[in-house]
Amino acid sequence: MDNASLPRKLGLVDASAIVVGTVIGSGIFIVPGAIARNLPSTWIILSVWLAAGVVSFFGALAFAELGAMMPSTGGQYVYLRESYGPFWAFLFGWVLFLVIRTGSTATLAVGFSLYLSYLFPLSPLLGKLAAAALIALLTWVNYRGVESGALVQNIFTFLKVLGLLLLALIAFLGPQAAAFQSAPAMDEFSWGQLGVAMMACLWAFNGWFAISLVAGEVKSPGRNLPRSLALGLAVIIAIYLLANLAYMKVLPLSEIAATDRVAAVMAERAIGPLGGTFVALTILLSIVGATNGGIMTAPRVYFAQARDGLFFQKLAEVHPRFQTPASAILVQGVWAGILALSGSYVRLFSFAMFAAWIFYGMTVAGVLILRHKYPALPRPYKMWGYPVTPFLFAAFSLWLVLNTLVTTPGPSLVAILIISSGIPVYYLWKRKEGALREDAACHTPPA
């Protein structure tokens, strides 16, 4: 096994592009319709988007402290391991591989094929092959070096941000009368509806944690990790609010609520059929960037797990030429490709957010634990608002998980079963690791 470490090659621009490019995928083009169906007015919708951004920003602040304190490859996996022990860290890595990252990658890739078919008609078979081809291509790019993965990330992040800004420009400079109308009054406006809308917003913000997974490859992590998270989240919040204002400028809430193609409908209303083509191109660019960010970052968790003896040892190897966790990248690509081709990603991804927020809450609460556990450990960056901000984030995560369990018990219980499936696997790996150590001890010659 190659015991080399992964070199630090990512600068501030690269790290910021990972944050922005991994978060902004297809959500901002799709979820405003679902949110408008649950919330009765423009100001409540904008407030929920802003609240989701603030919550995500609090989480990012916690990850910034943890990353600057422990700038290790594997990020969130390492933070959970140091806060709660290897058991919970393994369960995170297990669910990340099984559902969260691979399910998200498959979902994005299939979304890519759907929007590609808007420009070039594809049969169902060709659509699946296009999704698998995107996963294979980006897996190959990241297999061959973190620099090539970062270059793709930087290019597509720039293009998607430019596309969204142009989309907003089309709305605000168009001849349409300002809409900004509230939806028809709802008889009841429940916490359950608020929870559904908030979950949709948070899905659109999901992915800001990804930079922590490559913390071991970021230059000057004590400075660049906090800066990239702060800069990235600020850009994302601004773009999301601007996009929602653009939608509301052209369309009344009743029309936004009636479609899941909000961006396309708005652009078609503003500039005609050309608008639909422009939106399709923007979404394609956005999806490529988000898919690449996930493929680049998540394998570092499996790499860290393998180095702890909790995954196949092959995944702990560093490619001698490309200096990447090549085997971990390939294994993730194969599983995500299988999910995309089989169609099973649809069910898996519906469980991903519930599982993800259990571990987000635990990780941010880990800031409180590690402040007491390792008080003398150098912290180049300390979380703003401590201890209020990590407590608020952890409390919100608990509310979100419980609300999701009540409002959508079926998918939530399945997500719990998926997490639980890692328990016997963990003890299997622990037994295997113990056997390997005993074998090594038996074969070690006396001094």
The residue among 143 and 100 whose pLDDT is bigger is 143
For Cα atoms 186, 190, 196, give the angle at the middle one, nearest 5 degrees: 105
| Range with top average pLDDT, 29-33, 134-138, 221-225 | 134-138
Whether 5 has a pLDDT exceeding 60, the answer reads yes
Q: Mean pLDDT across the stretch 28-52?
A: 89
- For the stretch 412-425, pLDDT in tens is 898 899 999 999 99
Average pLDDT, the chain: 88
Report the candidate in 136, 83, 167 with the shortest Cα–Cα distance to residue 361: 83
What mean pLDDT is predicted for residues 378-395? Answer: 92
User: Which of the four pLDDT bands, split at 50, 70 and 90, describes residue 436?
Assistant: low
pLDDT at 198 over 80: yes
197 burial via Cβ count (<10 Å: 0-12, 13-18, 19+): buried
The whole-angstrom separation of Cα 351 and Cα 292 is 22
Task: Give the distance from CA 437 to its chain's centroid.
Answer: 36
pLDDT of 191 above 80: no
Mean pLDDT of 13-28: 92
Q: What is the pLDDT of residues 112-152, one digit of tens each?
A: 988 898 888 889 899 999 999 999 999 999 999 999 999 99
Q: What is the pLDDT of residue 424?
A: 95
Query: pLDDT value at position 358?
Result: 94
pTM for this entry: 0.88
Sort residue 408 into left (φ over 0), alpha (ψ -120 to 50) or beta: beta
Each domain of the chain, given as residue ranges in start order, spans 12-434
Residue with more model confidence, 115 or 179: 115
User: What's the CATH architecture for 12-434?
Assistant: Up-down Bundle (1.20)
* Calpha distance 353→101 (Å, rounded): 10
Look at residue 349 and tell me whether its pLDDT is greater than 70.
no
3-state secondary structure of 218: strand
Is residue 1 pLDDT above 60, yes or no?
Answer: no
| pLDDT surpasses 90 at 185 | no
